[in-house]
Amino acid sequence: MKFMNLGSPENASRYVAVEMFKEIHFNACTLLGLATGGTMEDMYRELVALLQRHQTDISCLETFNLDEYFNLDAAHPNSYMSYMKKHFFQPLGMQESQFHLPDNDLIDVEGDNRRYDAAIRVKGPLHIQLLGIGVNGHIGFNEPGTPFDSKTRVVELSPETIAANARFFDSQDDVPSQAVSMGIESILYSNRILLLAIGDKKAPIMARLYSMTEPDTAVPASSLLLHPNVEIIMDAAAAQHIP
Ligand code: F6R
């Protein structure tokens, strides 16, 4: 696991965008695992600009998102489908068949989750899995205590996650308490993992992750110690407690 302090938030976002761009540009049928969240907005802006500037052919690009709120309409402005359409899918003109988010309705959710993992298994490994990190060390919405062989499933969001995501909703009570998250097993089924962490709030969890030598389910991101090709990209604020 390689920890990289790139100084400014712009440099950190740009590094990730350029690495994603190179993969998509030079590998026509790139398979990506994608994340949402405040951290990723600048990165997607940079990535879309790079792909447009270089007229990259994205007709064979296919993406699998990490998570979606449970039982929230895809058209809701705070759904991760809306987020992805706004920041990535629509600016690039991607077809519906090219992007996948975990199904989040009540109809056969377990069957849908199994099919989501199976699709990743059949098409994968993902060329790049993009990750953010929660203040409690979650990746996707795999909260502390999640087994490392977890599959895509409905999860309860922790109080810390609900509090952190309240900024996107009118009030904390409006934040869904459940989500569907890709499991840690599928996250690890990737050739390369890029985890982006920006800002002061992420400093304590980054210091904790840096200090860990063994994976421990108390910190879901420590499962990345099991993967051979992980870069943890930080700005100076997130890296402030790391020597
Ligand atoms: C979102 C996701 C989450 C976020 C994490 C950080 O798809 O998988 O793990 O990456 O909660 O969110 P922000 O960037 O808003 O701090």
- Tokens for 58? 């994205």
**pLDDT, tens only, 135-181:** 999 999 999 999 999 999 999 999 999 999 999 999 999 999 999 99
The H-or-E segment that residue 128 falls in is strand 128-131
- ipTM above 0.85? yes
138 lines ligand 1 (CB under 6 A): yes
- pLDDT exceeds 90 at position 131: yes
Q: Burial code of 171-191, b = ≥16 C-beta within 10 A, e = fewer?
A: eeeebbeebbbbbbbbbbbbe
- Tally Cβ neighbours within 10 Å of residue 13: 24
Which pLDDT score is estimated for 106? 83
| 136 is annotated as an active-site residue | yes
Query: 2-54, pLDDT tens digit by residue?
Result: 999 999 999 999 999 999 999 999 998 999 999 999 999 999 999 999 999 99
Q: What is the pLDDT of residue 139?
A: 98
Residue 14, token pair as written in the block? 């740009």
- Ligand 1 contact, 132 CB (< 6 A): yes
CATH number of 2-228: 3.40.50.1360
Interval between CA 65 and ligand 1 midpoint (Å): 12
> Using a 6 Å cutoff on CB, does residue 140 contact ligand 1?
yes
State the burial class of residue 90 (Cβ atoms within 10 Å of its Cβ: 0-12, 13-18, 19+): exposed
Cβ of 39 closer than 6 Å to ligand 1, yes or no, is yes
Asked about 138 being catalytic, the answer comes back as yes
List of residues 6+ apart from 89 with CB closer than 8 A: 98, 99
205-225 confidence digits (pLDDT tens): 999 999 999 999 999 999 999
Q: Note the pTM of the prediction, 2 decimals.
A: 0.97
- Residue 26 tokens read as 């030079």
Taking the C-alpha atoms of residue 204 and residue 211, their distance in angstroms, rounded to an integer, is 11
Sign of CA dihedral 216, 180, 9, 233: positive
115-152-222 Cα angle (round to 5):
140
**Is residue 149 flagged as an active site residue?**
no
Q: 14-19: long-range contacts (C-beta < 8 A, 24 or more apart)?
A: 14/46, 15/233, 16/43, 16/130, 16/194, 16/196, 16/233, 17/43, 17/44, 17/46, 17/47, 17/50, 18/46, 18/50, 19/128, 19/194
Does 143 participate in catalysis according to the annotation? yes
Could you state, in order of their start, the residue ranges of all structural domains in the chain?
2-228
Choosing from 65, 104, 113, 136, the catalytic residue is 136
Written as six digits, the tokens of 199 are: 């800002």
Give the Cα-Cα-Cα angle 240, 203, 214 (nearest 5 degrees).
105
